[in-house]
């Protein structure tokens, strides 16, 4: 299948690049179109492709000399052109919109929400998607299979507890994450990251998971903890990390209970008890981490997700 893929491909470790790599591994031909360069996709010819795939980024369009209406017009025209030639358009995204400030984007006429099929990691708002007239499909996040080779213990990352992910400039609607990190910092054992640490990617991220005993995760669960979780779950498990994550309805439909440990949101006492238990049970902690990695490599890579998407289409 020939795929035209619109997205942000500049960061080496991005969802778009991982998805493109997975599609090529499945023997599909992928043509990359940098989203903020209108010329790279405005003149795409539908006859040359079997699928239009799109992962949207909220670019500062005004800084590019374009108005919001001009951008919407170009995007709308492209969707109409592909649709008129019988080529399906699919939006693919890991973020959630409902309950956050960005929810307004759904109602403001952005063409990304007018694709033939919108696939996101948010499966907890079926009625809202339907009421908005959006043909939405739930597909939980994955991890690049090519990023899941084991790391090695590295002194700079050695710690008892770690939190990997954004938190200082995170959605203000979700205060749980700020409180979680501040709570973990009070634990008497070693905690990563130290203030001011930069984002960790690639080999360094694999080494981080190989150097930490317990990783505590979080997902933006504004509006209810149902059928949505961050890609931090497959990202951590796939690299062999041991993870404690808040319980979310629907999680056990995709993961076995012996792959990760869950606790009740805001229940810091329960979280502390779990941390203390697994810090001292190396055997069980290692077995859970190994089980998680095995299952993620089978069922939660982007290669697997892209095959699911193609089978659906």
Is a pLDDT exceeding 70 seen at residue 195?
no
Is a pLDDT exceeding 70 seen at residue 301?
yes
Residues 36 and 134 occupy one common structural domain: yes
> Which has the higher per-residue pLDDT, 259 or 62?
259
In angstroms and rounded to an integer, the radius of gyration of the C-alpha atoms of the chain is 20
**Domain assignment of residue 64, given as a range:** 2-139
Query: What b/e sequence results for 98-108 when a residue is b if at least 16 CB atoms lie within 10 Å of its CB, and e otherwise?
Result: bbbeebeebee
Residues 124 and 184 occupy one common structural domain: no
pTM: 0.94
Interhelix angle 282-299/268-280, nearest 10 degrees:
100
Residues 91 and 45 occupy one common structural domain: yes
Residues 160 and 280 occupy one common structural domain: yes
The CA distance from 57 to 7, in Å, is 7
CA atoms within 13 A of residue 39's CA, in its CB half-sphere: 1
How much is the pLDDT for 65? 77
pLDDT digits (tens, 9 = 90+) for 72-105: 999 999 999 999 999 999 999 999 999 999 999 9
The domain that holds 68 is classified in CATH as 3.40.50
Residue 205: inside a domain:
yes
Residues 158 and 261 occupy one common structural domain: yes
Label residue 63 by pLDDT band (50, 70, 90): low
Residues 115 and 174 occupy one common structural domain: no
How much is the pLDDT for 177? 94
Give the contacts of 172 (CB within 8 A, at least 6 positions apart).
none
Tell which of 139, 154, 187 closes a domain.
139
How many domains does the chain contain in total?
2
Is a pLDDT exceeding 90 seen at residue 230?
yes
Label residue 196 by pLDDT band (50, 70, 90): low
* Cis status, amide bond into 200, omega within 30 of 0: no
Closest by CA to 305, choosing from 9, 55, 86, is 55
pLDDT digits (tens, 9 = 90+) for 206-215: 999 999 999 9
Is a pLDDT exceeding 90 seen at residue 194?
no
CA 33 to chain centroid: 20
Residue 312: inside a domain:
no
What count of other Cβ atoms lies within 10 Å of the Cβ of residue 208?
26
Residues 295 and 149 occupy one common structural domain: yes
Residues 104 and 161 occupy one common structural domain: no
Residues 188 and 269 occupy one common structural domain: yes
């Amino acid at each position: 299948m020939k795929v035209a893929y619109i997205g942000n491909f500049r960061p080496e470790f991005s969802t778009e690049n991982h998805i493109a790599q997975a599609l090529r591994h499945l023997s599909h031909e992928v043509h990359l179109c940098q989203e903020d360069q209108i010329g790279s996709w405005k003149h795409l010819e539908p006859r040359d492709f079997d699928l239009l795939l799109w992962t949207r980024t909220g670019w500062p369009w005004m800084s590019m000399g374009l108005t919001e209406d001009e951008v919407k017009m170009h995007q709308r025209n492209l969707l109409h052109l592909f649709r008129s030639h019988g080529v399906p358009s699919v939006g693919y995204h890991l973020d959630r919109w409902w309950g956050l400030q960005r929810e307004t984007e759904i109602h403001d006429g952005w063409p990304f929400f007018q694709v033939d099929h919108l696939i996101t990691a948010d499966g907890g708002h079926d009625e809202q998607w339907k009421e908005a007239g959006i043909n939405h499909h739930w597909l939980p996040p994955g991890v690049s299979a090519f990023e899941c080779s084991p790391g090695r213990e590295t002194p700079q990352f050695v710690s008892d507890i770690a939190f990997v992910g954004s938190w200082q400039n995170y959605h203000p609607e979700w205060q749980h994450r700020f409180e979680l990190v501040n709570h973990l910092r009070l634990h008497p054992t070693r905690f990563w990251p130290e203030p001011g640490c930069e984002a960790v990617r690639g080999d360094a991220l694999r080494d981080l998971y190989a150097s930490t005993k317990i990783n505590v995760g979080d997902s933006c669960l504004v509006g209810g903890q149902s059928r949505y979780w961050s890609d931090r779950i497959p990202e951590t498990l796939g690299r062999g990390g041991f993870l404690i994550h808040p319980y979310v309805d629907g999680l056990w439909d995709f993961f076995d209970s012996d792959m990760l440990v869950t606790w009740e949101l805001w229940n810091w006492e329960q979280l502390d008890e779990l941390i203390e238990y697994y810090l001292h049970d190396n055997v069980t902690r290692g077995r859970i981490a190994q089980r998680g990695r095995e299952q993620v490599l089978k069922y939660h890579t982007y290669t697997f997700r892209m095959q699911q998407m193609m089978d659906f289409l």
